[in-house]
Amino acid sequence: MKITSARVIVTCPGRNFVTLKVETDQGVYGIGDATLNGREKAVVSYLEDHVVPCLVGMDPGRIEDIWQYLYRGAYWRRGPVTMRAIAAVDMALWDIKGKMAGMPVYQLLGGRSRDGVMVYGHANGSDIAETVEAVGHYIDLGYKAIRAQTGVPGIKDAYGVGRGKLYYEPADAALPSVTGWDTRKALNYVPKLFEELRKTYGFDHHLLHDGHHRYTPQEAANLGKQLEPFQLFWLEDCTPAENQEAFKLVRQHTTTPLAVGEIFNTIWDCKDLIQNQLIDYIRATVVGAGGLTHLRRIADLASLYQIRTGCHGATDLSPVTMGCALHFDTWVPNFGIQEYMRHTPETDEVFPHDYHFDQGELFVGDTPGHGVDIDEALAAKYPYKPAYLPVARLEDGTMWNW
């Protein structure tokens, strides 16, 4: 069996997605996701110019060898562009292997560790009252876990406040829009949100919060300490993780569980965090961390230290990544939770899939492969649209972490 061609498909049914379709001489094909929010053209160029030509003639069954070829064979390796290109190939090859075997990918990984995958949704509001109402809406939909974000008085366009109730897309303009940030105002306001949520809904549901890299280690520790009475499932991205030792200071001062990793690309980005037990959940993704082949290694390392998975699952990941993530989640022994931001109906039509939501959990089907396809004719009706993520500035104009 040989790879005969590989094609990159870019479509924008509400947001941009980069899909790789790998075809073989036996008529079996697989698809993978290489979406990189706001940097789609970079990963398309890398795939078309540097990856696709190398794939033709290769045996698609040699998944591990092809992964090593694309990773070790590139002298300038790692980074979001390279690893997403590798991830797209890896997903497509697992899809092909599953189809050839007549088995869903989770069976190839080792079979089920659970029946359903607990997911969390995003409840957002311009203020505390709106967010409390949004959390109630997710509870009514059957969610057992909800991430709660609120606008903060005096902060322009605060992170996490979406433009819709279920579909949140932050990439909103052809050039980056400017949002505001004030840490002191957030520290004085966010704990009040969770106080009100527990007062309203009690402690039966898991609550999560995303700091989105906005806090210094000391500020993050302060926030985690204030949130302890409300028993969060986790505090996510409380401080930038380029300096992994920063989490030591946070860990020393709060027992609120910590999660990080959605922007990580390899096991090296989280090695020290895991080995020093500075986090409780690792959030690396199938698409961001080089595919299923490499994400399994990250999960295995984490399991040695009783750290669980909590894969990123926002709308900047296509249904292809979500399908692969759910096969991974169904298998991985040290599973924690899966983020689930719903795609628009247009996206779901372009990417037909066999996973479904029921009572706070997602369930994969038994379609051979990863169970997600692409309707190329429909995809062609949604051409690429330039879209950047926003940037953030402090009140005095200083650039900050978005």
Q: Is 281 a catalytic residue?
A: no
pLDDT digits (tens, 9 = 90+) for 207-237: 999 999 999 999 999 999 999 999 999 999 9
pTM over 0.85: yes
Give residue 164's pLDDT: 59
Give residue 387's pLDDT: 85
- Both tokens of 118, joined, read 């607990």
Using CA atoms, how far apart are residues 312 and 217, in angstroms rounded to an integer?
A: 22
Give residue 168's pLDDT: 67
Choice among 29, 106, 143, 159 that is catalytic: 159
Choice among 122, 205, 209, 212 that is catalytic: 212
Q: Which residues of 122-136 are buried (b: 16+ CB within 10 A; e: fewer)?
A: bbbbeebeebbebbe
What is the rounded radius of gyration, in angstroms, for the C-alpha atoms of the chain?
20
- Both tokens of 25, joined, read 């001489």
Give residue 170's pLDDT: 76
Q: Is 212 a catalytic residue?
A: yes
Q: Which residues of the chain have pLDDT under 50?
A: none
Q: Concatenated DSSP letters for 132-182?
A: HHHHHHHHHTT-SEEEEEE--TT-TT-TT--SSSS------BSS--EEEE-
Sign of CA dihedral 309, 314, 319, 320: negative
Alpha helices in 255-394 (DSSP H): 271-275, 292-303, 319-331, 345-350, 376-379
Could you tell me which of 231, 228, 224, 234 has the C-alpha nearest to residue 202? Answer: 231
Sign of CA dihedral 288, 293, 295, 298: negative
Could you tell me which of 145, 16, 32, 161 has the C-alpha nearest to residue 88? Answer: 32
Which single residue is written with the structure tokens 């809406």? Answer: 137
Structural domains in the chain plus CATH codes: 3-104 (3.30.390.10), 109-367 (3.20.20.120)
